[in-house]
Amino acid sequence: MPIPRPDRSGSHQQQFRINKKKIYATQTVCGICGKPVDFSLKYPHPLSACIDHIIPIAKGGHPSDISNLQLAHWCCNRQKSDKLVEKQVFDQSLDLISNRILPQCYDWKNF
Ligand SMILES: [Zn+2]
């Protein structure tokens, strides 16, 4: 076994593994579809347990913080990634529309 280097990815991987164990020990329901996760199913079974990043790392989510991790089915996690790509495109078009409708002078910071 190689000794893990104390670099950033190494410490994140270690933290991720610890939090993954915690989630597997405390959570039983998929955070995406809300159905129970069967821990006897193993990857590559589509309903096997996996850890989902609530906010994807690519979107600025924390790679290993437990507050950004949840239990999920492997297949739900895959579908979520696909949806996020679609949602991103949708959000961008919404912004374009809302910029025209909303008054330009309104100070949203007071909200
Ligand atoms: Zn699910």
pLDDT digits (tens, 9 = 90+) for 84-95: 666 655 555 555
- The tally of domains found in the chain comes to 1
The reported pLDDT for the residue numbered 111 is 61
Domain containing 35 equals: 8-79
Q: Ligand 1 centre from 49 Cα, in Å?
A: 9
Domain-embedded: residue 33: yes
Q: Ligand 1 centre from 103 Cα, in Å?
A: 41
Q: What is the pLDDT of residues 24-70, one digit of tens each?
A: 999 999 999 999 999 999 989 999 999 999 999 989 999 999 999 99
The DSSP-derived string for the chain is: -PPPP-SHHHHHHHHHHHHHHHHHHH--B-TTT--B--TT--TTSTTSEEEEESS-GGGT--SS-GGGEEEEEHHHHHHHHHHHHHHHHHHHHHHHHHHHHS-TT--GGG-
Domain-embedded: residue 47: yes
Domain-embedded: residue 73: yes
Domain-embedded: residue 43: yes
Q: Ligand 1 centre from 13 Cα, in Å?
A: 24
Domain-embedded: residue 69: yes
Q: Ligand 1 centre from 59 Cα, in Å?
A: 21
The reported pLDDT for the residue numbered 110 is 62
For ligand 1, a single-atom ion, which residues have Cβ within 5 Å?
A: 30, 32-33, 73, 76
